[in-house]
Structure formats: structure tokens, C-alpha cells
Amino acid sequence: AQSVAQPEDQVNVAEGNPLTVKCTYSVSGNPYLFWYVQYPNRGLQFLLKYITGDNLVKGSYGFEAEFNKSQTSFHLKKPSALVSDSALYFCAVRDTTNAGKSTFGDGTTLTVKP
Amino acid sequence: DGGITQSPKYLFRKEGQNVTLSCEQNLNHDAMYWYRQDPGQGLRLIYYSQIVNDFQKGDIAEGYSVSREKKESFPLTVTSAQKNPTAFYLCASRMGGGSVTEAFFGQGTRLTVV
């Protein structure tokens, strides 16, 4: 079985400050990890993914994420937040043994205040 | 432009009525997915298809049906057996074939029971 936890329903940061959105996972094999962003009444947009290799993954819009195998975490980060980053963020995991099915976290609402 | 299109954007269903949500993609993707999104619950997998003429139940398939007669199309029918169908429905597609690729999402259909 595979699962994802996003421990924070809401994250608030001031514009220009660094942001972190947390994600932990559980899989039986090796994980493939993804971050997506959703704006109101829209579909999800892909931000970045980890497959293998370098633990620090860089993605769209200045976002990056750090894979930590020992802590089973894949936290999303950005050095300097923008008001336009305010949205709902989803972490997803796919087990290498689980053909094509991803499990999504419950989402974290990020609010960046000017 | 390549993409994935869901229609309609808003749909109203009367009690006891079946309705069909459309999902079309021109990305030449093998795999397609239907998710249900409720507030605070993230995305839950309804059905998925990894190849034409084949599909599997997801975690919450009861009260739903699908077909995959063409590679580009994966319609979802919400039947009268689904007791609480009011939700935001998202269709997604992915390259499939064992590749570790991200999913592309449609803009969603908001279904309301009246």
C-alpha cells in the first residue's frame, strides 16, 4: 500500500519570505514523488517530480523539493514567496511496483500575504 | 494545442438521473484517470485505464461507470446508485507504458445534484 500525508492544511507566509509545504510518504517499494498546484476551480498543474538521483529537484515557477529517504519526506520549497503562489498544493506518490496509480495527499492551502 | 478537455464545466443532476461527463485528450496518452475532489479530502481515484478497451476500478468506483473505446476518450457516467454525487470531477491522462511521467489534468466538471 502507498500513502501520502500533508500535515498542514494551511500555510501562511509573507511575500518575499521562504516557504515550505510539507509532505511525507509511505510505499513498499521505491517512490516516485510529485508536486502539483491547483488554482480555484481549475485542474491540477504539474510542478516537479523525483524519480531517482539528486535529492534536490528543481521545478516550475522557482519551486524546488528535497527528497529525504530516511525521513520519507518530500517537502516543497521556494526561497522567496510571491502573492501569486497562493493556491492549493498536492503531493503525490507512486510506488514503482504499483502500475500507474498515484496516491494524492489531502492538499495544503498556501496563502502568501503582501 | 495539445491538452485534455473536460465538458461540461458545470452540470446539474436531478435525483435518480444518470449523467455522463466527457473527457477527451489529444496528447496520445495511453493512461487516463478519473478523480473525485471533495473539500478537505484531496483527490480520490474513481476509475483508471491504462490502455484502450481496458479499465480498472479505483478506490471509490461504486455508483460510477466508464468506457474506453477510443484512446482519446474516457467518459464517466455518474449513475443513480451514487448517493452523494455532488463534487468536483477531474480527468487526467499520462503517457503510461511504464514511463514515469506526470499527469496532465483537465479543468474539471462541477456536478451538483438539484
Q: Per-residue pLDDT for chain B (114 aa), expressed as one digit of tens each?
A: 569 999 999 999 888 899 999 999 999 999 999 999 998 788 999 999 999 999 999 999 999 999 999 999 999 999 988 889 999 999 999 987 667 888 999 999 999 998
Concatenating the DSSP letter of every residue in chain A gives --EEE---SEEEEETTS-EEE--EEE-SS-EEEEEEEE-TTS-EEEEEEE-SS-SEEE-GGG-EEEEETTTTEEEEEESS--GGG-EEEEEEEEETTSTT--EE---EEEEEE-
Q: Measured between alpha carbons, how far apart are the two ends of chain A, in Å? A: 41
Which positions in chain B touch A100 (Cβ < 8 Å)?
Answer: 31, 48, 50, 94, 96
Give the model confidence (pLDDT) of A62-87 as tens digits.
999 999 999 999 999 999 999 999 99
The answer to whether A46 contacts B106, with C-beta atoms less than 8 Å apart, is: no
The answer to whether A104 contacts B105, with C-beta atoms less than 8 Å apart, is: no
Q: How many CB pairs under 8 A join A and B?
A: 55
**Smallest CA–CA distance from B45 into chain A, residue:** A103
* Whether A98 contacts chain B with CB within 8 A: no
A80 vs A99: CA distance, rounded Å: 37
pLDDT given at position A64: 97
- Pair type for strands A56-58 and A108-113: unpaired
* Whether A59 contacts chain B with CB within 8 A: no
